[in-house]
A and B are shown apart, each in its own frame.
Chain A
């Protein structure tokens, strides 16, 4: 188990270093920072001095090393727009984003599991076909468009729910439903095929022959096995949801990280983008590490495979 833990940890650290390299390279692609910071009529000497101050005259490996050291100390630079540390801004907005993403995660897991189990038990029924049509349609719609359509129907026409903002639980409904649609579809598909597989397995046939009640077979035996692939993709699902909130938040004016990042794109506030991407990526890498480890604990085949 310890060996499994360390091999996973090593992979996670390599991935984090890779992310830092991508963030560094793209930041150097974004153009010369001195030209943004200095007035247009700055002299050659001023530019040289500025480049020296910012460390831009050093070689790229040295610049990368300094970048990593700074980031390790939590220093992503100042936001060009808010004039405060980019990391602080990102951290202050992160909870709102996680609130949306985790709510959607819980909703999609529960609904996806239930629909998937019903589909698997009533194979080829109208319910099964309905679920199939739903999941393939849900995976074909642009998420922000779904958000706009839900606002049009439930907020503008029916006036049941608020259009945008974040002042209470009713503000959570539309964005969470918008976000959860695609994960519901994927959880449903995975649960259904895993359930069908286990319900056809020999040991389940034996349980039937033994005369065990169908609900025990489904819930005590098949369901537990169907849960395995759903847990396996949960890290991926959360990554998808956090990526999804970035787009959705600006539709619903949700005060989270996504809104901050989209704003930063329009104001060309690159330190904020860097900090936002780095923080979310590292968070997700550790989350996936935790899922992998949890998996190694509950399913020995993974650990020794």
Chain B
């Protein structure tokens, strides 16, 4: 009888143990780092402790709660106009989310299309696309952005298009390389025999095989987009006030850094932690879905 009891016990425990193992294997550190940004970005003004634009001239540069002279109604202190820094950081999360997601998807769309076309067709179109990529690659990203931004002025559109212009190249190069290999594979030859159009081969047969690489690249590029946004804002070509971005908080807080160190410090920490989250997530995805390119 005992031998009957034991097998019934094991299946009863197993699903739980397997679920637990699966849960434990999730990339918890990146999730913990990125969750606050996503929550603040999506919920927005519903969860701000204060109105991020409310100016309180009675308490400018109020230190954070734990310091002498600080109060817990402003946990991270206030900026030069007495606005609550925590609320402003939370509002910045929304812009960060918008900038990162939209620039990454646009750049991936352009870069992956260009890379697939270049790699699949070869010939003059390949040459043409890759020479453009060479030119974009030859000018340091920030100088290219200064060139464009200096001509058309700063703002959200400039930030978005600048990030897309400097980052599509990476997708194009990587995707071209992979397409060159994929187009020689048997399933592409079979698809040709089955009279599939080039469009169908590219979208239905080659693109799915590129997805793991693309997802890894997009994750890593999301962090890069935030760093570029901060840099563009710092040189005065970024999103303009009264909007709030983390980059803007650093530049605006910089003149007060000796008397109110918390303004630039926390804004930069928000960027660093978010980018760290996307970088760690990208590394994790790379290990899981693309072991060939494992670096470290």
Contacts and interface: CB of A to CB of B under 8 A. Distances in A.
A94 B90 CA distance: 40
Contact of B140 (A18, A136, A242): A242
A9 interface: no
Interface in A233-287: 239-240, 242-244, 246-247, 250, 261-262, 264-266, 268, 270, 273-274, 276-277, 280-281, 284-285
B142 interface: yes
Interface in A114-141: 132, 135-137, 139-141
Contacts of B258: 152, 156
Given A143-B231, A145-B230, A265 B140 contact: no
A247 B231 contact: yes
Interface string A1-36: 000000000010011001101110011011100000
Nearest to A239: B140
B250 A15 contact: no
A265 B231 contact: no
B88 to A, nearest CB: 16
A281 B247 CA distance: 26
Interface stretch (B115-123, B167-175, B268-276): B268-276
Nearest to A262: B235
Interface in B107-163: 131-132, 134-135, 138-144, 146-152
A15 B272 CA distance: 34
A193 B296 contact: yes
Which residue among B149, B223, B257, B296 has the maximum number of chain A CB atoms within 10 Å of its CB? B296
B147 A145 contact: no
B234 interface: yes
B134 A15 contact: yes
A149 B265 contact: yes
Q: How large is the interface on B (under 10, 10 to 19, 20 to 34, 35 or more residues)?
A: 35 or more
Contacts of B134: 11, 14-15, 18
Contact of B235 (A137, A239, A247, A270): A247
Given A148-B257, A281-B143, A15 B131 contact: yes
A137 B278 CA distance: 11
Nearest to A244: B142
Nearest to A196: B296
A11 B130 CA distance: 11
A305 interface: no
Contact of B138 (A19, A143, A148): A19
Contact of B147 (A149, A189, A277): A277
Contact of A23 (B131, B147, B227, B296): B147
Contact of B272 (A11, A137, A192, A273): A137
Interface string A160-191: 00000000000000000000000000000100
Interface string B283-295: 1000000000001
Nearest to A135: B296
B264 interface: yes
A132 B280 CA distance: 11
Contacts of A142: 227, 230-231, 234, 247, 250, 268, 271-272
B268 A148 contact: yes
B261 interface: yes
Interface of A: 11, 14-15, 18-19, 21-23, 26-27, 29-31, 132, 135-137, 139-145, 148-149, 151-152, 156, 189, 192-193, 239-240, 242-244, 246-247, 250, 261-262, 264-266, 268, 270, 273-274, 276-277, 280-281, 284-285, 288
Given A244-B142, A265-B150, A281-B140, 13 more contacts: A14-B134, A19-B139, A26-B148, A136-B280, A142-B231, A143-B231, A144-B230, A145-B267, A148-B257, A152-B258, A247-B142, A276-B143, A280-B143
7 contacts: A18-B132, A136-B279, A137-B276, A141-B268, A142-B250, A148-B264, A270-B151
What 7 A-B pairs come out closest when comparing CB atoms? A243-B140, A18-B135, A145-B268, A30-B151, A140-B275, A140-B276, A142-B230
Interface of B: 131-132, 134-135, 138-144, 146-152, 223, 227, 230-231, 234-237, 247, 250, 254, 257-258, 261, 264-265, 267-268, 271-273, 275-276, 279-280, 283, 295-296
